[in-house]
Amino acid sequence: MKFNGLTTTVVKNGNTQDIINALIAAVPIAVEQFKQVPTTYKTGDVLQDAKNACMYVRDRVKYKADGFQFQDIQLPGRMFNDTKQADCKSFSLAALANLLSKGYNGGFRFASYRPNKIPTHVYIYVLDKSGKKFTFDPCIKNLKESPKATYIIDMDVRYLSEPYSEIYGREERRARRQERRENRQERREERRENRQERREDRKERRASGDKPKGLPRVTLAPARGAFLGLLALNFRGLASRLSSAISKDSKKVQEFWNKLGGDFSKLKSATEKAKSKKPLFGQRGVTGYDDTFIGIEPATTAAAGAAAASPILLALEKLLKALKIGGVAAEAGGKVVELLTPEEKANTVPIDETGEGFEAADPEPGAAKTTPSIVSNFKPSPLLIGGAAAALVLIFVLTKKKK
């Protein structure tokens, strides 16, 4: 039998009549417990079945009288599976509920053994088919009622006019119902807020052409300009390597550039024009490479150009490695030249249009996916980026004229 382990106070400072009312009111619940978990077998002999019902309680529960502070009425599930001790009230409730669950008729007999009429003990009676009454006291070994009673009163549970739900635990159930109503209201409010948030989110996406939320694509325009300026000069073999990547997997390169908000046709055209140019790098210098530009201060220009386009260069390096495109080594003493020096990489915040680390390509099969570390000690300002882009354009013009 199931039980929830709760204890409900029916009446504070109750009297004998309160105990009687609570005991009778508990019968329907006890009957349901016996219907769900049958215990004794129904023989059809009402007297034998009454004896079996009483002995079922005696064999499983120890008799212990309640004290003066509390009068407990235990439902069968709690008594059999938890406390396993009770007094006459709970003994009688279980025995009577067992009989009623089998279709027999009966009730409680409340008895007094004093000159007054206040009951101090309770046991049960059952009716046979002719309506004859038989008593059984489950607290007594032979189940026979004591002949010393000075006053008895029988209460047949069939004639209850007020249902259990209106008598027993009324305030507690009312409080639980109110709590459930409040919880339902809170859940409705939460669902309403979530729906409104989703509607606003969809509206924003439609207004932005289904672009991911975060930094607008236009914020990468200066970095793309600086990158294209480096590309036109084949800076550190950028155009040569990008051309190899396009030849190997044009679709991946296009996806890469589209994520950054660029026009792939323009990127491809710029790459074709610059791929055959001599890579602009030489011996190591202030920036890691002495990128000597004609007519321009080399260290300052190279540092500004690399810093302005560093987020894109960092992402492109990942793509080139994924496509297994090597670096430039022919004019660097046989050493592979990376697009960014270690110092430049350390000062680069890897970003994309969403403001998060940009994954230029999926990791190789079987490789663990890692999140790029973000170092915030260097963030090129728009002025620096714009100036670098302009300087790179000027470099390209001067270089072209000299040739």
Burial of 57 (C-beta count, 10 Å sphere; 0-12/13-18/19+): buried
pLDDT of amino acid 2: 66
User: pLDDT, tens digit, for every residue of 326-372?
Assistant: 776 655 556 677 788 787 787 777 754 443 444 444 443 333 333 33
**Stretch among 84-88, 166-170, 282-286 having the lowest mean pLDDT:** 282-286
**Stretch among 92-101, 157-166, 347-356, 375-384 having the lowest mean pLDDT:** 375-384
pLDDT of amino acid 16: 84
Top-confidence residue, 330 or 63: 63
pLDDT of amino acid 3: 64
Q: Are 138 and 93 in contact (CB under 8 A)?
A: no
At 284, the pLDDT band (50, 70, 90 cuts) reads very low
Would the pLDDT of 162 be above 50? no
Mean pLDDT over 253-269 rounds to 88
pLDDT of amino acid 371: 33
Mean pLDDT over 105-119 rounds to 91
pLDDT of amino acid 332: 54
Between the CA of residue 230 and those of 109, 177, 214, 384, what are the distances in Å?
A: 103, 71, 27, 15
Top-confidence residue, 142 or 355: 142
At 260, the pLDDT band (50, 70, 90 cuts) reads confident
pLDDT of amino acid 10: 63
Looking at this protein, which amino acid is placed at residue 201?
A: D
Bridge partners of 123, per DSSP, are: 109
Would the pLDDT of 49 be above 70? yes
pLDDT of amino acid 301: 52
Highest mean pLDDT among 131-135, 164-168, 311-315, 336-340: 131-135
Between the CA of residue 104 and those of 37, 74, 79, 352, what are the distances in Å?
A: 17, 22, 23, 80
Highest mean pLDDT among 76-90, 184-198, 337-351: 76-90
Instruction: Tell if the pTM clears 0.75, that is, is over it.
Output: no
Bridge partners of 153, per DSSP, are: 110
Looking at this protein, which amino acid is placed at residue 146?
A: S
Pairing of strands 85-86, 62-63: parallel
Crossing angle of helices 264-274 and 238-248, in 10° steps, is 120
Mean pLDDT over 10-35 rounds to 83
In the DSSP assignment, the letter for residue 275 is T
User: Which long-range contacts does 118-122 make (Cβ < 8 Å, 24+ apart)?
Assistant: 118/16, 119/16, 119/20, 119/151, 119/153, 121/88, 121/149, 122/23, 122/88, 122/89, 122/92
What integer best gives the mean pLDDT of the chain?
Answer: 75
Mean pLDDT over 61-85 rounds to 87
